[in-house]
């Protein structure tokens, strides 16, 4: 493992991976020091956040990026739905209430923290953290992100839905299909989108998932959650996608898709399926590399419908993002509590 941290703004070629030659494929362990717990969020240094605020906040218009916590009505992946109880404080008629929430932090809009997913074969989380270390400490908790100021900076929306409609490309967000890198690159070119040369942008990709879910009645949503596999569209899992994400120097990536990448990995292949048949050498999915290798948070099931409309209205696809996860010590994931500011 690298003994000296690399400056957050330094550029490392994708070909330099893995940084720890004894670790799993594509890892960037040690880039920010052997004890680092922030990963790619290290790129969000004060100067980067301040520059984003100066250039992106112009009108003060704000857009929520969270889907309601009770959506979807019937979560997939075997997760339980939200339980919400309001309790009156005192006798009948006293106008004082508390409420209790019980929910899986990954049933609705969420940031996957670095405790969520590691390298399955190597059995290591970010920066070579073992499962034993994870379960005997608070290491890599979602609270580290909150304590550092959250995921805050310049956001970029790739509106794949609008581009697909304009170019007669079929898109079903409720089916296990891949969003090809070639298409995303065409979205970038079509909308004249540029990324910050120094890095630190927060990527959002719209597949139309939340809009598709909102059109379903309760029965249809229930049937969807009972499918043999959780089939949803998402970014293709290929070495080329990893190279693009790395070279673009994103601080975090997110979308309205339940897994950001195609679900299940390989279109129906389990985590134990041979990695070479999924498309990535030595790993089965983007989650392993982004979370376990780079420490890059993954946002899922963000509601990007109003954001897309505001981007069209403003005729720009960049904005300021403020997202502060729940400060749960040792937490695995969290609702994003995110807004975009124009």
Express each pLDDT in 305-340 by its tens digit: 999 999 999 999 999 999 999 999 999 999 999 999
Short-list 99, 97, 66, CA closest to 83: 99
Average pLDDT for 33-58:
98
What is the distance between the alpha carbons of residues 133 and 135, in angstroms, rounded to a whole number?
A: 6
Express each pLDDT in 217-238 by its tens digit: 999 999 989 999 999 999 999 9
pLDDT at residue 274 in the model: 42
In the chain the first and final C-alpha atoms are separated, in Å, by 41
Q: Using the structure block, give the residue that is written with the tokens 């984003």.
A: 52
pLDDT at residue 9 in the model: 52
pLDDT at residue 276 in the model: 47
pLDDT at residue 6 in the model: 55
pLDDT at residue 140 in the model: 98
| 62-64 sheet: strands from edge to edge | 62-64, 338-341, 318-323, 151-159, 202-206, 252-255, 298-300, 110-112, 333-334
Pairing assessment for the beta strands 338-341 and 318-323 based on DSSP bridges = antiparallel
46 pLDDT above the threshold of 90: yes
304 pLDDT above the threshold of 70: yes
pLDDT at residue 244 in the model: 97
Express each pLDDT in 2-17 by its tens digit: 444 555 556 899 999 9
- The two most distant CA atoms of the chain are separated, in Å, by 67
Burial zone of 112 (CB within 10 Å; 0-12 exposed, 13-18 middle, 19+ buried): buried
For the chain, where are the alpha helices, taking DSSP H only?
46-56, 131-135, 142-147, 160-166, 181-190, 209-214, 218-225, 239-248, 286-287, 305-314
Say how many residues make up the chain.
342
Express each pLDDT in 225-275 by its tens digit: 999 999 999 999 999 999 999 999 999 999 999 999 999 876 654 443 344
Q: Measuring CA to CA, how many Å separate 94 from each of 84, 141, 253?
A: 20, 39, 46
pLDDT at residue 23 in the model: 96
89 pLDDT above the threshold of 60: yes
Express each pLDDT in 108-139 by its tens digit: 999 999 999 999 999 999 999 999 999 999 99
Q: Express as a percent the part of the chain with pLDDT over 90.
A: 88
Whether the CB-CB separation of 19 and 28 falls below 8 Å is answered with yes
Measured torsion, CA atoms of residues 65, 153, 194, 339, in degrees rounded to the nearest 10: 20
Phi, psi of 222 (to 5 degrees): -65, -45
What is the distance between the alpha carbons of residues 237 and 48, in angstroms, rounded to a whole number?
A: 29
pTM attached to this predicted model: 0.93
104 pLDDT above the threshold of 70: yes
pLDDT at residue 281 in the model: 67
Phi, psi of 202 (to 5 degrees): -110, 115
Average pLDDT for 86-99:
93
pLDDT at residue 282 in the model: 65
pLDDT at residue 280 in the model: 67
């Amino acid at each position: 493992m690298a003994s000296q941290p690399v400056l957050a703004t330094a550029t490392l070629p994708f070909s330099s991976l893995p940084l720890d030659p004894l670790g799993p494929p594509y890892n960037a362990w040690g880039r920010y020091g052997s004890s680092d717990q922030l990963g790619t969020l290290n790129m969000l240094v004060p100067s980067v956040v301040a520059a984003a605020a100066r250039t992106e906040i112009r009108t003060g218009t704000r857009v929520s990026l969270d889907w309601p916590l009770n959506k979807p009505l019937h979560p997939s992946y075997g997760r339980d739905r939200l339980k919400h109880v309001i309790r009156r404080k005192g006798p009948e008629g006293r106008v004082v209430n508390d409420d209790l929430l019980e929910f899986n932090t990954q049933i609705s809009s969420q940031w996957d923290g670095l405790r969520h997913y590691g390298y399955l074969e190597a059995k290591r989380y970010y920066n070579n953290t073992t499962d034993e270390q994870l379960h005997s400490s608070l290491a890599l908790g979602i609270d580290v992100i909150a304590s550092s100021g959250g995921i805050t900076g310049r956001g970029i929306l790739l509106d794949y839905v609008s581009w697909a409609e304009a170019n007669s490309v079929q898109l079903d967000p409720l089916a296990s299909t891949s969003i090809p890198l070639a298409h995303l690159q065409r979205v970038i070119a079509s909308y004249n989108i540029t990324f910050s040369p120094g890095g630190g942008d927060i990527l959002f990709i719209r597949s139309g998932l939340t809009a598709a879910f909102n059109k379903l009645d309760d029965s249809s949503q229930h049937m969807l959650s009972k499918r043999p596999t959780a089939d949803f569209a998402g970014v293709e899992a290929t070495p080329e996608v990893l190279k693009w994400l790395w070279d673009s120097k994103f601080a975090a990536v997110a979308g309205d898709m339940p897994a950001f990448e195609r679900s299940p990995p390989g279109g129906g292949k389990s985590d134990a399926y041979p990695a070479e048949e999924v498309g990535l050498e030595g790993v089965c999915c983007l989650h392993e590399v982004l979370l376990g290798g780079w420490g890059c948070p993954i946002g899922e099931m963000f509601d990007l419908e109003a954001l897309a409309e505001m981007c069209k209205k403003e005729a720009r696809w960049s904005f300021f993002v403020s997202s502060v996860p729940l400060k749960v010590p040792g937490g695995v994931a969290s609702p994003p509590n995110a807004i975009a500011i124009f």
